[in-house]
Amino acid sequence: MPTDLAFLHDAYARTFDTVVSHVDRGDDGLGVALERTLFYPTGGGQPHDVGVLRWDGGSARVTDVRKQGDEVWHRLDGNGDGAAVAPPAGTPVHGEIDWERRYQLMRTHTALHVLCGVIWNEWGVPVTGGNMEPLAARMDFELDPTPEGFGARAESLVAAEIAADRPIQVSFIPRAEAVLDEALIRTKVNLVPESVAEIRVVDIVGLDKQADGGTHVRSTGEVGRVRVVKTESKGKGNKRVRIAVEDA
């Protein structure tokens, strides 16, 4: 049974109730697939959530989350007693994500969208790659050479968009419609597999629009303060920007 990816519809939900669909005791560790989850599985440059699963008579920490096919697997570790246990298929479970970590990732992920938007508007170059951890991230751009004063200029442009407190809207649109949208074409909507009939769109209204399955905050004002920590060359036509996200 495909796992219902509840985080796609509500990034702010922290706890949920569902049922175990499968248990795997293989080499890769003890894990459970759930019918529904709020745990984000590693993907799209965003690392997985961690947290806790509880059920009648037991509990375990969720230490890794991965999507395999259309199911989300949650790796379980014991609570310090060394003995990991897993509830059998069909068991009702209650999940709680580590909200502090998730919210930091939501702010960081959104900061990267803001950075993409301002760099496109100012220098007209697309993103070539990126990655994030809570409150720190890097993103690569097709820049060559790095413009004079680039880091400081990018930082002040990002600060202005955060101060503008732009709303961030999530919607689901048919693929046939998404591939005609200029902003989505620019952010590589064509990389979404053709088998996906409906595209999730994350729109920082007036700034940046992407086909995206990650978790983001509701408005740019929630991001906090973004510092450009470093810019480095990763070869011809590829410059890396490192950012830190701080409380405002």
Give me the residues that bind Zn ion (CB under 5 A), please.
109, 212, 214
**Rounded CA separation 32/146 (Å):** 47
Specify the residue, 203 or 212, whose C-beta has the smaller distance to Zn ion: 212
Provide, rounded to whole angstroms, the least separation between the CB of residue 45 and Zn ion: 8
- The residues, ordered by sequence, that sit 6+ positions from 2 with a Cβ below 8 Å of its Cβ are 70, 71
AA letter at 107: R
- Minimum distance from CB of 163 to Zn ion (Å)? 21
Q: How far is the CB of 78 from Zn ion (least distance, A)?
A: 33
The Cα 7–Cα 32 span in angstroms is: 18
Our CB check for Zn ion shows the closer of 71 and 212 to be 212
Token output for 208: 């940046």
Helix 99-123 to helix 150-163 angle (10° resolution) is: 120
Least CB distance from residue 44 to Zn ion, whole Å?
7
Between 32 and 201, CB nearer to Zn ion = 201
Q: What are phi and psi of 8, to 5 degrees?
A: -70, -25
Which CB sits closer to Zn ion, 55 or 141? 141
* Lookup: tokens for 187: 């952010």
Q: How far apart are CA 91 and CA 152, in angstroms?
A: 53
Q: Kindly tell me which of 7 and 55 has the beta carbon lying closer to Zn ion.
A: 7
Tell the smallest beta-carbon distance from residue 46 to Zn ion (Å).
7
182 close to 193: Cβ distance less than 8 angstroms: no
